Structure 1
């Protein structure tokens, strides 16, 4: 039994070292970091263990394939975001074309209104001229009638006065009607203008809302992505042992714009896990953070739940 135990321990150590090397190569870990000191095992306690090179290669290829699949999914997500942005742009262009058409219709209506007003003014001028001509003819007729019938002068004057009063009343009524019609047209045009402005404001508001909604979705997605990256960085620096299995720690982290950790505070959780989490954050020193202002504002002060991971 002692001989079997002496053989098993070196075998486990050797296999663990080989698998660790494969994982580092597949995930592209930064080799600029200072190497960790590996505990030295005395020569009599370690026996040479031969690892099947083919199995090692297959495992490394599997990890690379998983990485390529993750990159493919990320590209598909970015393509979907680009497609939605293009659709929003096309919708905005259609709305702008609609607004332009409505503006052309409004200008055409304004021209028609001006033409109608000019025609009405010309008709009034013609009517005035005809009235003046008729008045001149009437004056000539009255003159001849006065010369012919001197005895009927008083009656003719009375009749002329009556006609003048009726003409004045009719003229006043026409003027009042003209003013009322002009006021009605003015109010209708004002109402049309206000309605046009309202439609334009609604269109602009809808466009701004669509753009804001798209950007908000992008920000939420980026915040989730960087939060996962921050948690993964902490996990890589977390020293775990079996007593921490199934336990967690909730921690508050404050970050500078370059990702530098300016402060951290334990909120709740297992004391052992929390001490290890605090140490992992201090060891990392700098955590992943977005350079986009609206994404950074949601990441600069975050609460994270860290739970040790075991293979």
Structure 2
């Protein structure tokens, strides 16, 4: 459209120029000439205008072609630069992806190594715990066996000690009854009768208290007096035996 407009303007200018030339020719006094001699300049003017228009068109075409070539060159450069940028972007993306994959691989290897280490540590702890439990069980078994052995020994000792203590208690109770009998007045008059007393003794054998529990009244009064008559009664120095004698009951039954 620009080319047509320029051509139109050029033609219009040439027409105006021709008109001016014609006006100039018409009003300028000159010698009389034939029509044949006046037509040649007009034809030359038209030829020159056409040539100018053609040159102008050629120049415009040349300029348009030059602009198009420049545009094509720039577009080619832009496409080349775009292709290079894309190639660089793809290469960078590939390098980044490779780097990320390498990082992920390293992290996975590190995680696996940590897992192996934790698993080995867990197994060691389990083995240690197992040994500790076995040691604990052996120790508890040994302690049970020792406790059972000690209990058995203590039972045996206790039985023997109880037997000994009771034997000693019975012996000293018999001595106390014998002492009472020796200090009992009118012994023969009480034969066939009985009296039960409660006697409390000090560790020295001193009588702290004597109480009548039941029995023949006369015998009980005589037996109470017989208990108090000596300074002391026979008593054991063994604490276990004395524990049974410090507060005990006896029966006085005179016999022939």
Structure 2-normalised TM-score? 0.51
Kept in 1, the 8 Å contact 2:235–2:245? The answer is: yes
1:190 aligns with 2:136: yes
Q: Which has the larger radius of gyration?
A: 2
1:278 aligns with 2:224: yes
1:244 aligns with 2:190: yes
| Cα RMSD (Å) | 3.2
Quote how far apart the aligned CAs of 1:218 are: 1.1
Equivalence for 2:7: none
Distance 1:291 1:175 in 2: 66
The 1:220–1:178 alpha-carbon spacing in structure 2 relative to 1, beyond 3 Å, is same
1:179 aligns with 2:125: yes
Kept in 1, the 8 Å contact 2:188–2:254? The answer is: no
Q: For 1:119-268, list aligned pairs within 5 A.
A: 164=109, 168=113, 170=116, 172-240=118-186, 243-268=189-214
Distance 2:233 2:109 in 1: 98
Distance 1:212 1:286 in 2: 30
Higher relative contact order (CA 8 A, sep 6+): 2
Kept in 1, the 8 Å contact 2:181–2:187? The answer is: no
Distance 2:170 2:209 in 1: 21
Structure 1-normalised TM-score? 0.43
Q: Find the residue that maps to 2:229 and give its secondary structure.
A: helix
Quote how far apart the aligned CAs of 1:286 are: 2.2
The 1:215–1:170 alpha-carbon spacing in structure 2 relative to 1, beyond 3 Å, is same
Quote how far apart the aligned CAs of 1:270 are: 1.1
Quote how far apart the aligned CAs of 1:306 are: 0.8
Quote how far apart the aligned CAs of 1:219 are: 0.9
Equivalence for 2:253: 307
Query: How many residue pairs end up in the alignment?
Result: 157
Instruction: Mark the runs of 5 or more structure 2 residues left unpaired by the alignment.
Output: 1-97
Kept in 1, the 8 Å contact 2:236–2:242? The answer is: yes
Instruction: Mark the runs of 5 or more structure 1 residues left unpaired by the alignment.
Output: 1-153
Distance 2:187 2:116 in 1: 108
Quote how far apart the aligned CAs of 1:242 are: 5.8
